[in-house]
Every structure is written in C-alpha cells, then in structure tokens.
Structure 1
Amino acid sequence: MSGSSSAAPTDASVPQGSDRPSLPRRVRDTVLAYIALTKPRVIELLLVATIPVMLQADRGEVELPLIVFTLIGGWLGAGSANTLNMVADADIDQKMKRTARRPIARHAVSTRAALIFGIVLGFASFAVLSLAANLLSALLVLATIAFYVGVYTMILKRRTWQNVVWGGAAGCMPTLVGWAAVTGSLSWEPIVLFLVIFFWTPPHTWALAMRYKEDYKAAGVPMLPVIATEERVTRQMLFYTWATVITSLVLIPATSWIYLAVSVLGGGWFLSRVHKLYSETRAGAEVAPLKVFLQSNEYLAVLFCGLAIDAVVNMKTIADFF
C-alpha cells in the first residue's frame, strides 16, 4: 500500500503559534517588572548625592566597604519608597501616557505583590544600614520612605501645586544618610547639600511637567504647569534655580578652589538655561522645557562630582586661608 495508518501525525495535530511565552522568558519579564518597580533611573540621584557627601564627611579618606554597603542600603530604601509610591499611584499611572507602562499599571505585578515587595525592601534597607553603618542612617532611610509615601504621595501630590516643593524633601535625604553613615551624626554641611537638592527639585520637575502637562491634567494631579501660565511656571523655576545656586555657594568655605570653580561656573551655566526659558516664555516663543530638565540633571551631577573630587584630593579649604 502506498499509505499507512501508522504514519506520523501531521503538523496540524500539534499546537501552532502559541502566544504563551516560554518559562525563561516569563521569569525574565517578572524579574524586570520588579526591578522597574524600584524606578532604577530615579535611583541615580542616590548615587550622585550619597558618594560625594560621604567623601566630604571624611575628606582625604575613601572607606570603600562603608560606601558600598551604604549605597546598597540606600538603594533598597529608595526602591521601597518608589515601589510603594507605585502602589499608591496605580490608578493615576493608568491614565498617564508617561506612566501607563509601569508594572502595576499594565498588570505585570499585582498591587498586593508590589506592596509586599516594597515593605520587604524597606526592612532590608534598615537591616543593612543599621548593621553596616549605624542606627541613625537606618532611621533616616525609614523616615524618607514614610515621608515620600505617606506625605508626598498620599497627601500632597493630588491636593496642591506645591506637591514637589515639599514632597521633594524625600529626594534630598541621601545627603543626610550619607553623612550620618560616616560620622554617626549630622552637621551644617549635609544640611546645605540637602537644601541644594531641595531647591533644585521644583525647576527640575516642573520642566518635565511642562512637557507632560496634559498627562497630569488627565490624571487630576495639580502640578504647577497644569494650573498656571507658562510665564508663571518659568518665573517660579527661575526663583528656585537662583536659590539652588546661591545655596551651593554656602559650602565653599568647607571646600577648596575645585568646588569653588565648579559651583560658580556650573551654577552660571544652569542659570543661563533657565533664564533663556523664562525669556522665551515671556516673548511668547515656542519653548523646549525638556532641555532644562536634562541640563538640571547634568548640573547636579557636575556639582556633586566636583565635590567628590575636591574631597578626595583634600586640598587646603577656603576657610583655612582666613
């Protein structure tokens, strides 16, 4: 016979084109979703702020193990705060194009799982810092998480345009944590650096909010660019930028000519960009606020890197000349 009933089954008998991803891919996607909950790019600020402050707290010395463990503890704390922020903001994240792909918003991670993950990260952060550094630094991280989630996310964000003004204090805490990890106490220097980031946060955030104004409006978040004219927004940005630069100069006596040059030149560079945005807005010209957003990142990185270099080189400070 030319055919046989014992022939191998045809391809039609095997499921074709299954949309179910393979196990390795599902594991990878899940891991990436949990990493995304921590907002890795936001945590860059932790690195920019913490390391230079720790070096300044112990000028001329580099305690690498302490720096590494402080960064790990700080990263866990920031990851906890960011995750819990996404849990609280899951409803509005779904309404904004900029945030619609976040893990909870696209149901890659359940709200309950994210909540547990965020709490676990917070406890892990406390454990690492209390064991590797000291209790003060660990308590400061817990205070940061509580403030960011409880005060900024759950109270300020949806109620007032000053949300990022006061809520931004959470992003300044790495300066205090880094200093406390080295010295076990606080002093005027980390407070100055805290204020630098505090004043820097509004123009940095409002520049981004100007670009995504319609997103915030759709989500019912009263960011300043949503409720005010562009001229008023840029005028406020200019005020806070001047406050940022002036505050950065207060640290000069505790540093050498390296930080002095970086803070003056970098501050002038940042101010020129924000002044340009304000002038263009007043003239009714088309503006590019994202340029300010990007340059604000670069300014802060340059300023704190200058501080790190200054601390490691450990030259005679300006105050020593008087």
Structure 2
Amino acid sequence: MDISEARVGSLVDEAPRWRTTLLGYLALTKPRVIELLLVTTIPAMLLADRGSVDPLLIFHTLVGGLLAAAGANTLNCVADADIDKVMKRTERRPLARATVPRSHALVFGLTLSVTSFFYLWWTTNLLSAHLAGATIAFYVLVYTLVLKRRTSQNVVWGGAAGCMPVMIGWSAVTDTIAWPALVMFAIIFFWTPPHTWALAMKYKDDYRAAGVPMLPAVATEQQVTKQILIYTWLTVLATLALVPTTGWLYAAVALLAGAWFVVMAHQLYRGVRRGESVRPLRLFLQSNNYLAVVFLALAVDSVLALPLIP
C-alpha cells in the first residue's frame, strides 16, 4: 500500500457518481505500486540485449505486466477487504468504503489477470506469460491469503512477487532466464524488507489493530532496524554482483548509491539504539529513490554499452 492512496480516496469523495466508480476501480489496481514495474522492467530488457530492444516489444511487455500487476493488486484488495476496514492507512480503499462491490472487484481482478496472460503470450512469449501468471498466483494465494496473516517474515517471502517484473522483462527479450535476471531478482528481493518495514514502523499500531504480524508490530524497534540494516547491506551487495555484466557507469552509481543507502540504514539503527526520535518514513521514501537511481543507471549503461574497463 502506498501512502498516496489517501489522495485517491479524497478524489473519490469529491467526484460525481460515474467518476467515483471509475476512480474506485483505478484505486483497486494501486497505480503507485505499479511504478515498480516501469522502474525495473525496462532496464532488465535493455540489459538482456544491451540496449537494442525493439520499442514495440518493450511496449507490449509493459502493457502485459501492467495488466498482471493491476489484476494481482485488485485481488489483493478483495482478499484484504476485512483488514483494510480496520487500518487507518487503508480505510479509504474502495472495498473498505464499499465504493466498489466486492463481487465486481473480484471479477475485475480475475479479468485483468487472465487478460495479462494471453496478452503476454500473444505479444511476447509463453514463458513471460507463465511467469506473470505464477506471480499473480503467488502474490494472491501464497502471500495475501497465507503468509501475510501468519508470519512476521511475510514481506520477506511475499516480496518475491515484486521481483518478477525483471524476470518477465528478461524472458520477453531472450525467452530464457539467465543469471543476470536472477541477480536483479535478488536486488529487489533484499530491498523489499527494509523498504516495507520502514513504512510499517510508522503504522505498526494499524497492523496490531488488524491482527497482521508485520515485523514492526511484533518486535522491538531495535530488532526491526537491525533487520533493516542487514537487508540493506544484502541489497547493496546484490547490486554489485551485477557489475560483471554491466559497465563502469552502473558500477559507479551502484557503489555510490549503495553507500548512501547503507549510511541511511545505519543512521536509523543507531538512532533507535540511542533512544533518539527517529523518522523511519524517511528511509521508506528514500529507498524508492535508491532503487530508481540504480535501475536508471542500469538502463543508461545498457543503452550506451559502456565497458567496465575501456
């Protein structure tokens, strides 16, 4: 859930009936969450063919991926409708406010999901379509219905769904899965816990009220920030593991941005240990910038095909 959803809710309140319904369906897809698709898929595709990817293939992959993400997010809202009503951060979601009937949302989510499979199969290849379908199934059936409500490590394993855009992008170009795609998967996999837990630290009372065992709701702040620090280091190390297949521009940006990200995580951890007032939301927001900068550097490096050693 992105903190900008409150704005979508306010727009729904002010809109005429038909616009209210339209904005409700749009909010179900969590548009801001889908930005991760754009940030990671294109660089993965460019790296797969070192910048010479057909623009039409990129377009089709993004459309198919967008449909898949929108379908998965909608089904997530359907499954989480009960807890969304309890949490202040999510109480303005369409199903929590009954802006959209739950049965309609279910049909909408299933339609988007099925459409994404056949669209990717038609425009890219069957492997990409299967990866998208597996992502939707894992996110809804494994993360949302099982892990989210049963373990404090929910976002660690559930975050795997958010890593799949790079796999889909790579497979759309090559019709295979190779080690650079797995490294990019690892980058996002390790990045997800510190990103999500930093936000959850601010809204831990929400999770407690809803009975969701998100780590900040069941552990001390020192334990949480220690885990954030560990996963931040793992994220940076994963970005450096991609260096052998990239050029000097990506290597430099990954190193500098990684140092900055680690320093921020250390500051949060040190502040908690000292009993100081901390701002975990700052790390949450800046983690978005970090991931965007790293993958933008990867895209530019791939297009320019800059060698690591001239």
TM-score class, shorter: over 0.9
**Do the aligned residues in 2 keep the contact of 1:83 with 1:114 (CA within 8 Å)?**
yes
**Do the aligned residues in 2 keep the contact of 1:62 with 1:312 (CA within 8 Å)?**
no
The CA RMSD over aligned residues, in Å, is 1.2
Residue 206 of structure 1 is matched in structure 2 by: 197
Residue 112 of structure 1 is matched in structure 2 by: 103
CA distance in 2 between partners of 1:66 and 1:34 (Å): 27
**Do the aligned residues in 1 keep the contact of 2:162 with 2:188 (CA within 8 Å)?**
yes
SS of equivalent to 2:94: coil
Residue 213 of structure 2 is matched in structure 1 by: 222
Residue 134 of structure 1 is matched in structure 2 by: 125
| TM-score (ref. length: structure 1) | 0.91
Instruction: Write out per-residue CA displacement over residues 188-226 of structure 1, whole angstroms, 9 at most, x where no aligned residue.
Output: 001000000000000000000000010000000001111
1 or 2, which has the higher helix percentage? 2
* 1:50 lines up with 2:38 in the alignment: no
Instruction: Write out per-residue CA displacement over residues 1-56 of structure 1, whole angstroms, 9 at most, x where no aligned residue.
Output: xxxxxxxxxxxxxxxxxxxx9xx921111111101100000000000010000000
Equivalent residue pairs, number: 297
CA distance in 1 between partners of 2:119 and 2:174 (Å): 17
Instruction: Write out per-residue CA displacement over residues 131-164 of structure 1, whole angstroms, 9 at most, x where no aligned residue.
Output: 1100000000000000000000000000000000
The percentage of counterpart residues that share the same residue type is: 61
Residue 125 of structure 1 is matched in structure 2 by: 116
SS of equivalent to 1:84: helix
Q: Cα offset for 1:58?
A: 0.8
CA distance in 2 between partners of 1:316 and 1:172 (Å): 27
SS of equivalent to 1:177: helix
Structure 1: stretches of 5+ with no match in the other structure: 1-20
CA distance in 2 between partners of 1:226 and 1:49 (Å): 30
CA distance in 1 between partners of 2:189 and 2:46 (Å): 21
Structure 2: stretches of 5+ with no match in the other structure: 1-11
Residue 4 of structure 2 is matched in structure 1 by: none
Q: What one-letter code is carried by the residue in structure 1 that aligns with 2:107?
A: I
* 1:86 lines up with 2:46 in the alignment: no
Residue 7 of structure 1 is matched in structure 2 by: none
Residue 263 of structure 1 is matched in structure 2 by: 254
| TM-score (ref. length: structure 2) | 0.94
What is the aligned counterpart of 1:158 among 142, 149, 161?
149
**Do the aligned residues in 2 keep the contact of 1:208 with 1:293 (CA within 8 Å)?**
yes
Residue 14 of structure 1 is matched in structure 2 by: none
Residue 3 of structure 2 is matched in structure 1 by: none
CA distance in 1 between partners of 2:60 and 2:19 (Å): 26
Q: Cα offset for 1:62?
A: 3.5
SS of equivalent to 2:249: helix
Residue 187 of structure 2 is matched in structure 1 by: 196
What is the aligned counterpart of 1:98 among 84, 89, 98?
89
The structure number with the bigger radius of gyration is 1
What is the aligned counterpart of 1:241 among 232, 247, 266?
232
| Deviation >4 Å, runs of 4+ | none
What is the aligned counterpart of 1:148 among 139, 150, 161?
139
Q: What one-letter code is carried by the residue in structure 1 that aligns with 2:255?
A: V
Residue 302 of structure 1 is matched in structure 2 by: 293
CA distance in 2 between partners of 1:102 and 1:182 (Å): 36
**Do the aligned residues in 1 keep the contact of 2:74 with 2:109 (CA within 8 Å)?**
yes
Residue 66 of structure 1 is matched in structure 2 by: 57
Q: What one-letter code is carried by the residue in structure 1 that aligns with 2:230?
A: F
